[in-house]
A and B are shown apart, each in its own frame.
Chain A
Amino acid sequence: MSEEFKIDIVNPEKSFLSKEDIIEAVVPAYEGEMGILKDHIPIISFLKPGIIKIKSKSGEDSYYVEDGIIEFKNNNLTVLTSSIFNLKNMEKNKIQELLKIAEEETNNIEISDQTKYLTEQKINVLRSIN
C-alpha cells in the first residue's frame, strides 16, 4: 500500500504547488509544528510564520510562509496562503526586505499582543534562514 498523499498549495494569484507523492509534511501550525502523514484525521488549522517542510518521493523541499490556513481531508492537504516562498530560490535581499518590514512592525506600539507575537515569530524564522 502506498503511503503517499496529495498536497495543494494555493495563493490568491495562482496554484503554487500541486504534488501527489508526498510522504510527510511538517507545517508550522498555530499551536506548534505539526507533522502530517497519510490518513491523518481531518483537520483545519492556522499557520503562523515558519517553514513548511515537504518530504516527497522526489526529494525534500522547504517553503517559507507568513500566514495561511491548512485543511487536511481524504488524504488531500490544502494550504491556503497569501505569502509563500521556496527557500531554494529565495534571495538574500528578499529575506532582508521581509525582515526589515517585520522589524518595523514590532516597533509600532499600537499593535495587539497577538500580532506582536506573530511578528516576533516571523523575525526569528527569517533570522534563522538568513
Chain B
Amino acid sequence: MASLDDLKKRITSVKSTQKITKAMKMVAAAKLKRAQDSAEKGRPYSQKMNNIILNLSNGISDKSNAPKLLSGTGNERIHLCVVMTSDRGLCGGFNANIIKKAKSYFLKLKEEGKELKIITVGSKGNDQLKRVYGDKIIENISFKDSKNANYFDAEKVGKTIIERFQKEEFDICTIFYNQFKNVITQIPQAQQIIPLNTENNNENKSEESYEFEPDEDEILSNLLPKNISTQIFKAMLENSASEQGARMSAMDNATRNAGEMVDKLTIEYNRSRQAAITKELIEIISGAESL
C-alpha cells in the first residue's frame, strides 16, 4: 500500500490537474459561444452562394462547354482530399473522428485503384496522417497564428486548390470537416467541391429564368472559384465551433473524472491514516500490558 505521503502528493496532483481542465472547459465554453455565433452568421452567405450557382448551372444550356470546376475534367482518376483539423489537441474525439472518416475514404479509393493526394489544414491532422500517408501529403497548411477562422485564410486555401486544379494535378476534390450539430455531437463530413455537386439539392430549383449580365459562362467562371473559398470558409467555421464544443465536453468529463479520483484517493488516504493510528494505539496498549 502506498504511504501516506505518496497519497497526499497524488491528491494534490490530481487536484491541480482538475483546476487546469476546469479552466480549459471555461475558456472553451466562452470561445464556443463566439465560434457558434459566427458559424451561424456565416451560413446565409454560403447558402445563398450555393443557390445562385444552382440557378446558374440550371440556366446553362450547353453543359459540355461549362467551366471545368463545374463539369469536372472528364476523368475520375486522381483524388485530392483536403482534411481539415484543429491546430490544438485536448479536444476529445474531434480530430480522431475526421481522420477516421478520411482514412476509410482513402481505403475505398485505394480499393478502386484511384490515385490519392492529400492536403492537410491544421497541424493535428498532419501529425496523425503523416505516419501512414506521409508520401501522399502534398501540402500542409496551418493557421496557428490567426485567432479566429477568417475569410482571408479560407481564400488562401481556396486559391491553392484552384491553382493545383488548373495545373491538372487532380480531378476530384473532397473536403473533410466536422459539422457542428450541438455541443456534444459533431458529425464528420465529406463534401465534394470539385466538380461541384449540383444534383442533390433539387428542391431549391427555381423555375424562373434569369437575366444575366455579363453572360452565364463568364459569371460562372468567376463565381466558381469564389464558391470554393466560401465552402472552405464554411467548413472552417463549422470546424472551429465543433472544436470548441468537443473540447468543452472533453474537459467537462476530465474535470468530473478528476473529482471522482480525488474522492477515491481521499477515502484511501483517510483509511490508511486511521489504520496507522490504530496500529500505534495497539502498540502502546500492548506495551502497557506487558509491564
Query: A42 touching B151 by the CB < 8 A rule?
Result: no
- Residue contact A44 to B45, C-beta cutoff 8 Å: no
A61 → chain B closest CB, angstroms: 20
Q: Which residues of B contact A31 (CB under 8 A)?
A: 213-214
- Could you say which of A6-14, A93-101, A103-111 contacts chain B? A6-14
Q: Could you tell me if A44 and B55 are in contact, using CB atoms closer than 8 angstroms?
A: yes
In the complex, A13 Cα to B155 Cα: how many Å? 13
Assess whether A29 is interfacial by the CB under 8 Å rule: yes
**In the bound complex, how far is the Cα of B211 from the Cα of A34, in angstroms?**
13
| B6 beta carbon closer than 8 Å to chain A | no
Task: Say whether B222 contacts A46, CB under 8 Å.
Answer: yes
B44 surroundings in chain A (CB, below 8 A): 8, 10, 15
A41 to B230, CA, bound (A): 27
Query: What's the minimum C-beta distance from A24 to chain B, rounded to whole angstroms?
Result: 18
Within residues 5 to 64 of chain A, which ones have a CB less than 8 A from any CB in chain B? 8, 10-15, 29-31, 34, 41-46
Contact of B48 among A10, A30, A45 (CB under 8 A): A10
Q: Which residue of B lies closest to A29 (CB)?
A: B213
Instruction: Tell me if B42 and A30 are in contact (CB < 8 A).
Output: no
In the complex, whether A80 has a CB less than 8 A from a CB of chain B is yes
Task: Known A45-B213, A46-B214; judge A13-B48 contact (CB<8 A).
Answer: no
Inter-chain CA distance A31–B218, complex, in Å, is 13
The answer to whether A73 has its CB under 8 Å from any CB of chain B is yes
**C-alpha spacing A89/B64, complex, angstroms:** 47
Query: Please, how many residues of chain A have a CB less than 8 angstroms from a CB on the other chain?
Result: 23
Bound Cα distance A82, B212 (Å): 21
Q: Which residues of B contact A91 (CB under 8 A)?
A: none
Do residues B210 and A30 form an inter-chain contact, with CB atoms below 8 A?
A: no
The residue among A42, A43, A44, A45 with the most chain B CB atoms within 10 A of its own CB is A44
Check B151 against A12 for contact (C-beta < 8 Å).
yes
> Once the chains bind, are A43 and B212 in contact (CB under 8 Å)?
yes
From B42, B208, B213, B233, contact of A73 by CB (8 A): B208
Asked if residues A80 and B41 are in contact (CB atoms below 8 Å), the reply is: no
Most A CB contacts (10 A, CB to CB) among B45, B154, B219, B226 go to: B45
Contacts of B23 in A (CB 8 A): none
Known: A43-B212, A43-B213, A44-B56. Is A12-B219 also a contact (CB below 8 A)?
no
Q: Give A14 to B48 CA distance when docked, in angstroms.
A: 12
Asked whether B223 is an interface residue with its Cβ less than 8 Å from the other chain, the reply is yes
What is the minimal beta-carbon distance from A34 to any residue of chain B, in angstroms?
8
Q: B202 interface residue, CB < 8 Å from A?
A: no
A43 to B209, CA, bound (A): 9
Q: Is the CB of B38 within 8 A of A80?
A: no
Q: Say yes or no for B49: interface residue by CB 8 A criterion.
A: yes
Tell me if B151 and A14 are in contact (CB < 8 A): no
Contacts of A44 in B (CB 8 A): 52, 55-56, 210-213, 219
Determine if B214 and A13 form an interchain contact, defined as CB atoms under 8 angstroms apart: no
Given known A13-B42, A14-B38, contact A42–B213 (CB-CB < 8 A): no
Q: What 5 A-B pairs come out closest when comparing CB atoms? A: A14-B41, A12-B151, A45-B213, A43-B211, A10-B45
Write 20 A-B pairs (CB below 8 A) sorted by A numbering. Answer: A10-B44, A12-B42, A12-B46, A12-B151, A12-B233, A15-B41, A29-B213, A31-B214, A43-B210, A43-B212, A44-B55, A45-B212, A45-B219, A46-B213, A69-B49, A69-B52, A69-B219, A71-B48, A73-B210, A78-B48
